[in-house]
Amino acid sequence: MTSAADEHRTIAGGFTERVRGVRPEDWDQPAPVEGWVARDVVRHLVEWFPAFLKAGAGVELPKGPSVDDDPVKAWTVHSDGVQALLDDPATASKTLSNPHIGEVPLDQAVDRFYTADVFMHTWDLARASGQDERLDPDRCARMLDGMLPLDDMLRASGQYGPRVDVPDTADVQTRLLAFIGRQP
């Protein structure tokens, strides 16, 4: 089984490639999330997760420049901070506490909530900026299998759009994207 640190290294690495591949003129191109542009995909990841970590585990990540000033640097400072946290052996003995999820080992919470979010938003950034949209099919299958039984709860959270109908024969990436409300 892959560690949370290794999983993040791989997933964040793919996202970093997309961030670095955005042409300056494409940062304001529409993203698949309604009302967002490419820059907002990075903004979302850089802004929600530090507050989640601080409130639930007392962990503060390094702060980079604003996404408006330098989205590439904002992302890399953030991503490097998350990786350093996961690479720290002490992280495995820490817990994140949250009223919605209870107490979860910190490295597992990062993997389950944040790294999974980075994975799905990789497609959003790629689509917005005209880059390679392919996601790892094995990871897509694992995520979809884990999310399907939680459909009602996930929809109620407001974090996912309405499920999009696609043929049962669609590839696993298309089915995952449709499940989370994207128009693949």
Give the residue from 151, 120, 161 showing the smallest Cα distance to 34. Answer: 161
Q: Does position 177 have pLDDT exceeding 80, yes or no? A: yes
- C-alpha distances (whole Å) from 179 to each of 10, 76, 163, 175, 184 are 23, 29, 5, 6, 10
Question: What does the pLDDT average to over 121-148?
Answer: 96
Domain architecture of the chain: domains with CATH: 4-133 (1.20.120.450), 135-184 (no CATH)
> Which pLDDT score is estimated for 1?
63
Q: What is the pLDDT of residues 46-101, one digit of tens each?
A: 999 999 999 999 999 999 999 999 999 999 999 999 999 999 999 989 999 988 88
For residue 17, give the amino acid letter. Answer: E
> Which pLDDT score is estimated for 161?
81
Secondary structure class of 104 (helix, strand, coil): strand
